Every structure is written in structure tokens, then in C-alpha cells.
């Protein structure tokens, strides 16, 4: 394929069949945002350093700024737009809101998807396991603690357990 | 930053891939995970006309064998799959541990074993966007004619920065290279050359197909990494040590390889000599660490000041040896 023609791919996007045509040298991030108008996936460093463009490709987190749109052919892509379903928000979305894990919100879609991948493999991750899983996602507002708590709370709710947040998570240090 | 335009080819077999590279010539470039190449292309450090993806070649995605016979790891195996593979975890824990220090879980889902072994050399004057590099009139490694680290130098000093490299050299891994002319298997140590631009002995048309881990016959190894952030960073010093220890506890053979300080991994024969011939006592360890300190001559082209990186050689070598004691 040369650089002048448009590429055309068919793939599964947030559970639905999708097709799209785009300039063949575009990244998946650019295809999602510019050719499919799904702007939930954020454009950050563009070099694989910040994690805000993370999506799930066949269930595995990848940085969409470093994946070609062409590489999504025949595969399954999940973005933040596909997290909620008819029943409502995904538990991670709810707990990120409940704990204040999103401030400016720019990093949130990437965190949500990487956390979703973690919980798919490990329904009761330790704080250390959460830290490692999210180590490639940068947040410049919250300082991460509320994000870790949101993941722990979502994991507990998904296991069907009650969990109370530490008092300082809600009221701050008194 | 956007990728420049290029033709993208997705061969179905290794034979097709190397033929495509033969046809593309110097303007061709293999890609697997893309985590090294695509940032470089966005910054116009690499500008191939033809990109040949080997990411989905089943031939490159296998791990076979075990510690008794040695293990063959396909170059296209993702770092995540390497770390989680039961045979690697059981028989080659040093390999799994070193791979775990590479980048982040998300990037390890994408990046491959082969990509790490072939990682482009890095430098503060090179790993910058096009406008930044144009602002200093470029550098020797790409588009310029001066090495800003060592302005009198005819040589590029960009740094070997892949975590698997020192360990693979230390344990005596071998790599299989394939081209339209056939294939050859060479020591990992013979893959690297001390030149930041032409940092590989791999020919441009050769595809790294797999890395072969040696059988376990009593040796143990470890890798220690210095970096700024615990979460993720490239190494600014890497220490890999392999020891072959006799039943009585005497060290029969030793390999000590330093990474992150020069364009190629650096072997330290004086440290190896200091370790061999007796048990691993404090004095042998001290002499080995001292030899590494003398040998390490990092330049001022990575994170951290170079003198501190040199000083850190001693404690990092000691930590590696302590773990193997």
C-alpha cells in the first residue's frame, strides 16, 4: 500500500462491527479521534510516555499513539466510550467519580482501561499490584492515591463486597 | 507529532518478510511492537520508506524448550508474554526479572524481546523532536556532523539502553539472524558494536528471528538497573552478572557486563578475574566492584550527571554479587 491511497479496515469497536477509511500512516489514536470522532481517547505525549491514549486491543492495553490504525484490522478495540453499557456506568467509572480520582480528567480514560485490564486478570489486586499496573499512566492532578483507592473500591464492588474508603480519603487529613 | 508517510507491508511468513526487506533495501525497516521505531519516526530520527511488520508472524511468537536443553524465545514474543511464561519464570528468573524492569506493563504488552535486543542507542542530543535537533544543527547520529557529547569525536557516543542486552550477553545467549541469503546463529555478545550509529553487527537486511537461552548447568545470573524513576525509565547503568559456581562454593567462571554507559555493552575482564578461583567473599566482591568502577566511563549524554553514574557502578555491582552469593 503506498502513502497516497486511503486504507480501509474492518474491526470490532466497543463490541460493534465497524469500518473506516483513513490515510495509511495514521496511528490508531488518530483514526479513533479524527476518522471515527471518538475523542474520549486522549492525545498526550504521542511518544509512549504518558499512557493517556491507552485502549484495549483484543483485551490487552496498548498505547494507541504507537499502534497503526492498520494493525486494528480484524481485531477488537475498546475505548472509554465502550465502558458504560445499558445498565449504566462501569464500576470503575463510578468509583473514579465517587473518590475524586478524576480532577482535570485528561488522564482518566487511559487509567480506566488499564485498570479494567488489571481487574480482568486479578479481581483482588494489592496496592502494589495496582501501582505496577498503572505505572505507565501519568496523572498530574491527583497524586494517584485516589486513583488507587478507586480501583480498590471498584474491585471490591465487582466482587460483590462492601468496602468503606479510609476516612481521610473522603474528608482529608483532620 | 505525526508519523511521516511510508509504505506498510504485513508479510505472512519470515521468508516473505526477508524477501520484502531485500527488495526495500536501505529504505526498508522491520517493525514489531513499534514502541521504539514509531517515536523515532515521529521525531524524524528514522525515516524509512517501507515499514515491514513482523508483529503477527507466528514463527516469531513461540517460546520452546526448557532449562535442561535451553530455551528458544521468538523475537516477536511480547515482553509481557516473556515475563509470564511458566518456563521462563521457573528456569530463567533472571530473564523474567530483567524484562520486568523494562518500561511499563502497557508498553511491555506491545514491545518485544527482539525489539529490546535491537533498541536504538539513546542520547540526550538525539532523542528529541525534529525542531529541537534542528535548533542545535543536528548531531552526528542523524542529519548533522558534530557529536555534541564529545565535539572533537568522529564517533557517535549514543548509549546502549536496553535492559535485556547486558543480561543476554552475560549468560551467553545466542541470536538467530535470517535473510534471503540464509541464516546464521551468533553469540549475543557478537551482535553489538561500540558505535552509537552502527551499533549492531546485524546486517540491515537480516531479521532477528529468535534468541536462544543456554541450558541451565549450574550458572545463575542477575541484572541490576539504575534509573531515575522506579515506575519506568531507561537504564543509565545496568549491571548483569553470571556466575558458574562449583559444589564447594568456588567460582569457576564469571561474566560481568555493564550496560547504559557506552554504545555497546561493556565486559569487565578484570572484574571476572577477581571473582574466579575461590568462594564469593567480601574481598573478591570489592575487587570486582572496583574493576567495574575503573572500567565504567559514562559520558554526559543521559539522565543524571556522569560522575554520579560512574560512582554508582560500585554499589550496583555489589548488589548484583550479593544477590548471587
Distance in angstroms (rounded) separating the CA atoms of residues A112 and A150: 10
Non-local (6+) Cβ contacts of A49 within 8 A are: A138
Residue B289: per-residue pLDDT: 98
Most B CBs within 10 Å, among A109, A136, A143, to test the B interface: A136
Non-local (6+) Cβ contacts of A161 within 8 A are: none
State which residue of chain A sits closest to B80, comparing Cα positions. A60
CA-CA-CA-CA torsion sign (B42, B103, B230, A132): positive
B3 has a chain A CB within 8 A of its CB: yes
Per-residue pLDDT of chain B (325 residues; tens, 9 = 90+): 999 999 999 999 999 999 999 999 999 999 999 999 999 999 999 999 999 999 989 999 999 999 999 999 999 999 999 999 999 999 999 999 999 999 999 999 999 999 999 999 999 999 999 999 999 999 999 999 999 999 998 999 999 999 999 999 999 999 999 999 999 999 999 999 999 999 999 999 999 999 999 999 999 999 999 999 988 999 999 999 999 999 899 999 999 999 999 999 999 999 999 999 999 999 999 999 999 999 999 999 999 999 999 999 999 999 999 999 9
Residue B254: per-residue pLDDT: 98
Distance in angstroms (rounded) separating the CA atoms of residues B6 and B53: 12
A169 pLDDT higher than 90: no
Angle at CA B211, nearest 5°, toward B205 and B213? 160
Report which of B38, B41, B24, B45 is spatially closest to residue A2, judged by C-alpha positions: B24
Residues from chain A contacting residue B106 (CB–CB below 8 Å): 51, 54, 61-63, 114, 136-137
- Write out the E strands in A90-161: none
Residue A163: per-residue pLDDT: 87
- Interstrand relation of B237-245 and B219-226 (parallel, antiparallel or unpaired): antiparallel
State which residue of chain A sits closest to B37, comparing Cα positions. A66
| A67 in Cβ contact with B51 (< 8 Å) | no
User: Domain B219-324 in CATH: superfamily?
Assistant: CO dehydrogenase flavoprotein, C-terminal domain (3.30.390.50)
Closest partner residue to A135 (CB to CB) among B5, B105, B110 is: B105
Residues from chain A contacting residue B35 (CB–CB below 8 Å): 48, 63, 66
Non-local (6+) Cβ contacts of B109 within 8 A are: A60, A61, A62, B78, B79, B80
All cell numbers assigned to B164: 535485556
> Measured between alpha carbons, how far apart are the two ends of chain A, in Å?
63
Residues from chain B contacting residue A1 (CB–CB below 8 Å): 7-9
Closest partner residue to A60 (CB to CB) among B6, B42, B109 is: B109
Non-local (6+) Cβ contacts of B163 within 8 A are: B98, B99, B101, B102, B116, B223, B225, B235, B238, B259
Closest approach of B104 to chain A, Cα-based (Å): 5
B39 has a chain A CB within 8 A of its CB: yes
pLDDT category of residue A171 using cuts at 50, 70 and 90: confident
Closest approach of B201 to chain A, Cα-based (Å): 27
The domain locations on chain B are 59-118+159-213, 219-324
Task: Tell the burial category of B235 from Cβ atoms under 10 Å away from its Cβ (0-12, 13-18, 19+).
Answer: buried
pLDDT category of residue A46 using cuts at 50, 70 and 90: very high
Specify the length of chain A in residues.
Answer: 174
Residue A4: per-residue pLDDT: 65
Non-local (6+) Cβ contacts of B85 within 8 A are: B63, B77, B96
Report which of B241, B211, B240, B244 is spatially closest to residue B225, judged by C-alpha positions: B240
CA-CA-CA-CA torsion sign (A146, A149, A154, A155): positive
Residue A112: phi and psi, rounded to 5, are -60, -45
CATH of domain B59-118+159-213: 3.30.465.10
A3 pLDDT higher than 70: no
Closest partner residue to A62 (CB to CB) among B39, B42, B106 is: B106
What domains can be seen in chain A, in order of their start residue?
A: 7-82 (3.10.20.30), 91-171 (1.10.150.120)
Q: Residue B297, Cβ neighbours under 10 Å: how many?
A: 11
B7 has a chain A CB within 8 A of its CB: yes
Q: Residues 141-200, chain B: which have Cβ within 8 Å of A?
A: none
Report which of A92, A107, A101, A80 is spatially closest to residue A147, judged by C-alpha positions: A101
Residue A18: per-residue pLDDT: 98
> pLDDT, tens digit, for every residue of A96-150?
998 999 999 999 999 999 999 999 999 999 999 999 999 999 999 978 999 999 9
> pLDDT, tens digit, for every residue of B106-146?
999 999 999 999 999 999 999 999 999 999 999 999 999 99
Q: What is the ipTM of this complex?
A: 0.95
**DSSP-derived secondary structure letter, A34:** I
Amino acid at each position: 500500500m503506498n502513502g497516497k491511497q486511503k486504507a480501509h479496515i474492518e474491526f470490532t469497536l466497543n463490541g460493534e462491527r465497524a469500518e473506516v477509511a483513513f490515510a495509511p500512516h495514521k496511528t490508531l489514536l488518530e483514526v479513533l479521534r479524527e476518522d471515527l470522532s471518538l475523542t474520549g481517547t486522549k492525545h498526550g505525549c504521542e511518544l509512549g510516555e504518558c499512557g493517556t491514549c491507552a485502549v484495549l486491543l483484543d483485551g490487552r492495553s496498548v498505547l494507541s499513539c504507537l499502534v497503526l490504525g492498520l494493525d486494528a484490522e480484524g481485531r477488537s478495540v475498546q475505548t472509554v466510550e465502550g465502558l458504560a453499557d445499558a445498565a449504566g456506568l462501569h464500576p470503575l467509572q463510578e468509583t473514579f467519580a465517587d473518590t475524586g480520582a478524576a480532577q482535570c480528567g485528561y488522564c482518566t480514560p487511559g487509567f480506566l482501561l488499564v485498570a479494567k485490564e488489571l481487574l480482568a486478570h486479578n479481581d483482588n489486586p494489592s496496592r502494589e499490584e495496582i501501582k505496577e499496573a498503572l505505572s505507565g499512566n501519568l496523572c498530574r492532578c491527583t497524586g494517584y492515591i485516589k486513583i488507587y483507592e478507586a480501583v480498590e473500591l471498584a474491585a471490591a464492588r465487582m466482587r460483590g463486597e462492601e468496602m468503606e474508603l479510609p476516612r481521610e480519603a473522603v474528608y482529608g487529613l483532620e | 507529532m505525526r508519523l511521516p508517510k511510508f509504505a506498510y507491508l504485513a508479510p505472512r511468513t519470515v521468508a516473505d518478510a526477508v524477501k520484502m526487506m531485500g527488495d526495500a533495501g536501505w529504505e526498508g525497516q522491520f517493525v514489531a511492537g513499534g514502541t521504539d521505531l514509531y517515536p523515532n519516526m515521529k521525531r524524524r530520527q528514522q525515516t524509512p520508506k517501507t515499514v515491514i511488520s513482523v508483529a503477527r508472524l507466528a514463527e516469531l511468537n513461540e517460546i520452546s524448550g526448557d532449562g535442561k536443553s535451553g530455551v528458544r524465545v521468538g523475537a516477536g514474543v511480547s515482553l509481557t508474554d516473556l515475563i509470564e511464561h511458566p518456563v521462563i519464570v521457573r528456569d530463567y528468573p533472571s530473564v523474567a526479572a530483567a524484562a520486568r524492569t523494562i518500561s511499563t506493563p502497557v508498553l511491555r504488552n506491545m514491545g518485544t524481546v527482539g525489539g529490546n535486543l535491537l533498541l536504538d542507542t539513546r542520547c540526550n542530543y538525539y532523542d528529541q523532536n525534529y525542531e529541537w535537533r534542528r535548533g542545535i544543527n543536528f548531531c552526528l547520529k542523524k542529519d548533522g556532523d558534530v557529536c555534541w557529547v564529545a565535539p572533537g569525536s568522529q564517533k557517535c557516543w549514543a548509549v546502549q539502553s536496553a535492559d535485556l542486552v547486558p543480561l543476554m550477553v552475560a549468560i551467553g545467549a545466542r541470536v538467530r539472524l535470517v535473510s534471503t541469503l540464509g541464516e546464521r546463529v551468533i553469540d549475543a555478545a557478537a551482535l553489538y558494536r561500540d558505535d552509537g550509529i552502527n551499533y549492531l553487527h546485524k546486517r540491515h537486511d537480516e531479521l532477528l528471528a529468535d534468541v536462544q537461552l543456554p541450558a541451565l548447568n549450574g550458572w545463575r545470573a542477575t541484572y541490576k538497573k539504575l534509573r531515575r524513576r522506579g515506575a519506568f525509565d531507561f537504564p543509565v547503568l545496568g549491571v548483569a552478572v553470571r556466575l558458574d559456581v562449583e559444589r564447594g562454593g568456588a567460582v569457576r567462571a564469571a561474566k560481568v557486563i555493564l550496560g547504559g554507559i557506552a554504545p555497546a555493552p561493556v565486559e569487565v575482564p578484570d572484574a571476572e578475574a577477581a571473582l574466579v578461583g575461590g568462594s564469593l567473599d567480601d574481598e573478591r566482591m570489592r575487587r570486582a566492584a572496583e574493576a567495574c568502577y575503573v572500567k565504567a566511563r559514562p559520558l554526559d549524554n543521559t539522565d543524571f550527571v556522569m560522575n554520579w553514574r560512574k560512582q554508582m557502578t560500585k554499589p550496583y555491582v555489589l548488589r548484583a554479587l550479593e544477590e548471587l552469593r
